[in-house]
Amino acid sequence: MTPEQLTPIGEALARLLSPHAEVVLHDPAADEVAAIWNPLSGREPGDPSLLGELDELSASGADVYGPYPKTLPDGRRLSSVSAVIRADDGKPAYVLCVNVDRTAFEEASRLLAAFAAPVVGQPRVLFEHDWSETLNEIVAGYVRERGVTVERLSRTDRLELLGRLDAAGVLSQRRSVPAVARALRISRSALYQLLAQTRKEPNADPA
């Protein structure tokens, strides 16, 4: 087996993971880099491999190691996997290492964590402008809770949902009735009838 025979594998991995990873083929017998693709570390073919621990690792019979952490001179952190490629006699012929730069993924993780941070309560002064968002959240939460679509809500469900909307102050906003009717998929007259019953008998059990 020669480095040329392994070149398509190294190049394919480098293309797939570019620009976030380098792929290195080591020659453990010569203890040097046999080939390298997308060299994030700045190494070149012929540079020392520094695989002095290979004999100790290979004694276990394992051929794949990692992922394990590594660090570049500029401080970037890598996640690395190494695969021992053995010759016909069972001795390590080459070691193929894939080193993935974690920088982009860690930045993405921080960005997503920032978006997932707890949202503070909505300022009351802004409620008048954002009551439609509150309407949508309450209706969406209710149908998820009930496990049905808005169209399949029963009269009892609609009375309970209107009670929640009324308690949240949605129905006290100007021009809210048409929006609530649309959200509940009912007519305005039906909404007024349900609302009258909700406000008249808030603790009643509608038939």
Instruction: Supply the CATH number for residue 94's domain.
Output: 3.30.450.20
Q: Which residues contact 52 (CB under 8 A, 6 or more apart)?
A: 31
Using an 8 Å Cβ cutoff, are 132 and 68 in contact?
A: no
The DSSP element (H or E) to which 98 belongs, if any, is strand 92-101
Residues 102 and 193 in one domain: no
Q: Determine, yes or no, domain membership for 207.
A: no
The reported pTM is 0.52
Domain boundary among 108, 126, 145: 108
Q: Cα dist. 37→13, 72, 103 in Å?
A: 9, 16, 19
Tell me which residue has tokens 């509608």. Answer: 206
Return the bridge partners of 79, or none. 69, 100
Q: Which residues contact 161 (CB under 8 A, 6 or more apart)?
A: 138, 139, 142, 153, 184
Q: Determine, yes or no, domain membership for 152.
A: yes
- The boundaries of the domain holding residue 168 are 118-200
Token digits of residue 69: 């952490």
Residues 98 and 31 in one domain: yes
Q: Which residues contact 62 (CB under 8 A, 6 or more apart)?
A: 84
pLDDT of the chain, 207 residues: tens digit per residue:
788 889 999 999 999 998 999 999 999 888 899 999 999 888 899 988 876 555 555 555 678 888 888 887 777 888 889 999 988 888 888 999 999 998 888 888 877 777 765 555 544 444 445 677 788 889 998 998 888 888 889 999 999 999 999 888 888 887 888 889 988 999 999 999 998 888 876 444 443
Domain count, the chain: 2
CA nearest to 194, candidates 176, 182, 178, 206: 206
